[in-house]
Amino acid sequence: MSLEKILSISGKPGLYELKAQTRSGFLAESLIDGKKISVGAQNNVSLLSEIAIYTLTEEVPLREVFAKIADKENGGKAISHKEPKIKLEEYFFEVLPDYDEDRVYPSDIKKVIQWYNLLQKHGITDFSETDVSSEEE
């Protein structure tokens, strides 16, 4: 499964897998506890494939950040998102040395690490781009 079907829903913990389209929104299943929820238009929903992290020069897609974490951890689990703020920032600096410290908050770093560990736990480790028209430098 790719990041195209993984959602972050504002106000709800963890990540969700898009299951089906409904008349008023869609059905999603929690990666944390497997519960299915109905998500309407009033919810603020983000596809993980559409999220990017600010660096000093550009915005790096979240899938690339996940791939860098996976490389650093040899595909294994990252540090806990419950580590102290300074430790999370040091870890993120090792993964993405030029991240913009003014626009990437500790809460963002915590969320990225938590999401990576959740995806890794569920075997969702293919962070390559699914779009065939992508151009690499």
Angle, helix 62-72 to helix 106-121, in steps of 10 degrees: 70
Other CB atoms within 10 Å distance of the CB of residue 19 = 13
- Give CA torsion, residues 25, 31, 36, 38, to 10 deg: -20
Residue 42: the pLDDT is 85
| pTM check: above 0.75 | yes
Mean pLDDT of 116-126: 93
Tens digit of each residue's pLDDT (9 = 90 or more) over 49-72: 999 999 999 999 999 999 999 999
Check if the beta carbon of residue 55 is closer than 8 Å to that of residue 73.
no
DSSP label of 77 = -
Query: pLDDT for 86-115, tens place per residue?
Result: 999 999 999 999 999 999 999 999 999 999
DSSP 99: B
Place of tokens 């781009």: 129
